[in-house]
């Protein structure tokens, strides 16, 4: 990770869960991390904690609604003005709504596409443009995907969410191919965790907290810090090594 000290990383959805853990880990490694979310209160608190801990990097909170393209473009413009540009883009933000394919609301489907697919694509495009403008040829784009992007969970509440994560799998492969065609050494990686114990299930099942809690009680879950470790592992790989797909699963206590 030594070569990343002082470099700029963007982490989307950095207020809680995996995003917060990744932001903390990168700041600890000496990076300047722009952490964005719709509400930055928790990111500001995390930034203060990182500073108090004496980490060599810096966490910069940035308020951004990723379902709004204009806000994303404004964020990249601000990063260019204040920090020159993005060297590492961690597309972590994602959400799920209980909207089955046969009875779901279009509003919920659209929100999942806007955040899970379009925002990821826009951030990737803008991060790549930022790297090319500055002749950065060792940048990295990391998409935090899901095991739901490789297998369809047998639950109607998850089907549309899985579709958006299958899109992330395809998009990451497309990005890898386009980077190769561009003859660049910028790398792309897809990290697909199994169930991670965060606030995700409680937001997904916000009307049924008992159901949310049971998701995490039914098995030994991954922790957000496990995924942060995966990110630092990927970033620390030698320049001639590309980790394209990293799958991290968890196990049922019944096994």
Which amino acids are annotated catalytic?
161
153-162 own/partner pairs: CB under 8 Å, 24+ apart = 156/100, 156/101, 156/102, 157/96, 157/98, 157/99, 157/100, 157/204, 157/205, 158/96, 159/100, 159/101, 160/97, 160/99, 160/100, 160/101, 160/104, 160/108, 160/109, 160/112, 161/96, 161/97, 161/112, 161/116
CA nearest to 32, candidates 68, 65, 11, 7: 7
Three-state secondary structure call for residue 247 = strand
């Amino acid at each position: 990770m030594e070569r990343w000290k002082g470099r700029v990383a963007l982490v989307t959805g950095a207020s809680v869960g995996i995003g917060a853990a990744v932001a903390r880990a990168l700041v600890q490694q000496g990076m300047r991390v722009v952490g964005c979310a719709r509400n930055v209160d928790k990111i500001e608190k995390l930034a203060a904690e990182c500073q108090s801990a004496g980490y060599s990097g810096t966490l910069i909170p940035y308020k951004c609604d990723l379902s709004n393209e204009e806000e994303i473009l404004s964020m990249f413009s601000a990063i260019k003005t204040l920090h020159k540009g993005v060297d590492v883009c961690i597309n972590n933000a994602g959400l799920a709504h209980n909207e089955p394919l046969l009875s779901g609301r279009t509003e919920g489907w659209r929100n999942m596409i806007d955040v899970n697919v379009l925002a990821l694509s826009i951030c990737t495009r803008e991060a790549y443009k930022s790297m090319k403008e500055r002749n950065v040829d060792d940048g990295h784009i990391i998409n935090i995907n899901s095991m739901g992007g490789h297998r369809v969970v047998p639950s109607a509440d998850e089907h549309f969410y899985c579709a958006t994560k299958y899109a992330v799998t395809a998009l990451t492969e497309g990005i890898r191919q386009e980077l190769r065609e561009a003859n660049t050494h910028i790398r792309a990686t897809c990290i697909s965790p199994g169930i991670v114990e965060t606030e995700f299930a409680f937001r997904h099942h916000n009307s049924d907290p008992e159901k949310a809690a049971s998701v995490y009680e039914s098995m030994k879950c991954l922790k957000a810090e496990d995924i942060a470790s995966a990110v630092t592992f990927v970033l620390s790989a030698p320049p001639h090594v590309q980790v394209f797909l990293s799958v991290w699963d968890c196990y049922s206590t019944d096994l």
